[in-house]
């Protein structure tokens, strides 16, 4: 027996691909609408997730500690640099003082006059120390009669000095001297050239010669 189609079956339109797609889109839209209403999906979901993350911020106390450490480091660096510059300046000042003293001692050593022998040699003794002071003092008794008898006069026309080495307590100086010299047999002064090497030491506030040698 053949069954006749009912009205509902005959009037239902066939489902095409476009109709199916539209239905699916409508369904998807409904799902999203319900999800948005439920708060499951919103445009602010990532931002909402970050609300639970706490951003670290240094405390005021920590900032003060860091500032103090930085200030201390800056002061330490400045002090180190300042001390280095101060030490360098001290060394330069000591070298300059030793150089000047060595030059003057060499000039005084070469300067000699029969009429002022005692005063001339006393200056050298006052600027001497150690072995050189003893050696120089021991020669004066024999040197004085020779200088006096020959009427020796030795002056310094030019003196140039160079610092070889030195620190706060000792120094080595080379001094070149041009000394016009006359005596009884040579009334007209003759220029003599000497090159002296002096070892200096700091005695109190003064530089004194401990060794003096003639060098070529």
| Domain at 91, CATH number | 3.10.450.540
* pLDDT for position 138: 96
Residue 48 has pLDDT above 80, yes or no: no
* pLDDT for position 45: 47
Q: What is residue 41's DSSP assignment? A: S
* pLDDT for position 6: 45
Is 71 contained in some domain? no
Is 13 contained in some domain? no
Q: What is residue 12's DSSP assignment? A: S
* pLDDT for position 42: 45
Is 19 contained in some domain? no
**Closest among 122, 150, 119, 146 to 136, alpha carbons compared:** 122
Which of 25-34, 109-118, 187-196 is predicted with the least confidence, judged by mean pLDDT? 25-34
Is 183 contained in some domain? yes
Residue 36 has pLDDT above 60, yes or no: no
Is 133 contained in some domain? yes
Total domains present in the chain: 1
Residue 160 has pLDDT above 80, yes or no: yes
**pTM for the structure as a whole:** 0.62
Is 165 contained in some domain? yes
- Domain with 108, as residue range(s), is 79-214
Is 121 contained in some domain? yes
Name all contacts of 125-129 with Cβ < 8 Å and 24+ positions apart: 127/101, 127/206, 127/208, 127/209, 128/208, 128/209, 128/210, 129/201, 129/203, 129/208, 129/209, 129/210
Average pLDDT over residues 36-45: 48
Average pLDDT over residues 97-120: 96
Is 73 contained in some domain? no
- Chain segment 112-134, per-residue pLDDT in tens: 999 999 999 999 999 999 999 99
pLDDT band at 29 (very low <50, low <70, confident <90, very high): low
Percent of the chain residues past pLDDT 90, beyond the cut: 55
Percent of the chain residues past pLDDT 70, beyond the cut: 69
* pLDDT for position 17: 47
């Amino acid at each position: 027996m053949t069954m006749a189609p009912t009205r509902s079956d005959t009037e239902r339109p066939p489902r095409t691909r476009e109709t199916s797609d539209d239905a699916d889109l409508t369904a998807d839209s409904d799902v999203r609408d319900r999800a948005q209403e439920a708060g499951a999906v919103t445009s602010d979901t990532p931002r909402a997730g970050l609300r639970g993350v706490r951003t670290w911020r240094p405390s005021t106390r920590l900032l003060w500690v860091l500032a103090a450490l930085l200030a201390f480091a800056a002061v330490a660096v400045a002090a180190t640099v300042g001390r280095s510059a101060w030490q360098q300046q001290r060394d330069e000042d000591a070298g300059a003082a030793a150089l000047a003293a060595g030059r003057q001692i060499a000039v005084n050593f070469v300067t000699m006059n029969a009429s002022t022998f005692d005063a001339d040699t006393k200056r050298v003794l006052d600027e001497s120390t150690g072995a050189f002071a003893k050696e120089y003092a021991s020669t004066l008794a024999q040197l004085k009669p020779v200088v006096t008898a020959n009427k020796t006069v030795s002056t310094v026309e030019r003196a140039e000095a160079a610092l070889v080495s030195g620190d706060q307590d000792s120094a080595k100086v080379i001094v070149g001297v041009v000394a016009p010299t006359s005596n009884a047999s040579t009334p007209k002064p003759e220029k003599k050239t000497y090159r002296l090497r002096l070892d200096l030491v700091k005695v109190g506030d003064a530089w004194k010669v401990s060794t003096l040698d003639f060098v070529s």
